[in-house]
Amino acid sequence: MIYYSDGKIVIRTMKEEDADIIFLEETAQGWHPNIELFKKYYREQDSHNRYVFIGEYEGNVAGYTTLIKSAENGPFMNQGIPEVVDFNVFIKYQKKGIGNKILDVAENVAAGLNDKICLGVGLHSGYGSAQRIYVKRGYLFDGSGVWYKGKQLEQYADCCNDDDLVLFLSKSLR
């Protein structure tokens, strides 16, 4: 299914072969992706347990995000609030509007499920572009502070500035 197309950017559902493309693109960026995660995303899309939005730029897979119907972790857990999970635009395709179009589609789908959307964002510099786009789009911090490995971090607690150190945000869709 195609959600958006303007001639350069296309936002569509995931195809099975996209798992391999995402894996190769992330590996080329020096990341350490897990191919099984992307295959799982496809299976969960196929079974209607997750939405997967693939962003293409001039015919090439350029990024993606997923949307689950109800947050499974963090301060929004079990409240029926859709959650953006795993949002990425490959570095060579950034600053072309792809990320905003992917999020436009995710937010439109989420609006059919709830009047709010949420997400968690990492705190290290690798998440800098995502942090900025979320704030520019009107996402607000929820006020629960820093979370680490799925748990709210106590004040003055030790942690590691890795992918599991996050802040949660939400946005009203109405």
Say whether 73 sits in a helix, a strand or coil.
coil
Please tell me the pTM assigned to this model. 0.95
Total number of domains in the chain:
1
Which CATH number goes with the domain that contains 44? 3.40.630.30
What would the mean pLDDT of 98-113 be, rounded to a whole number?
A: 98
Domain range enclosing 106: 2-172
List pLDDT tens digits, range 73-102. 999 999 999 999 999 999 999 999 999 999
User: For residue 164, what is the DSSP state?
Assistant: T
Q: Is 129 left (phi over 0), alpha (psi -120 to 50) or beta?
A: alpha
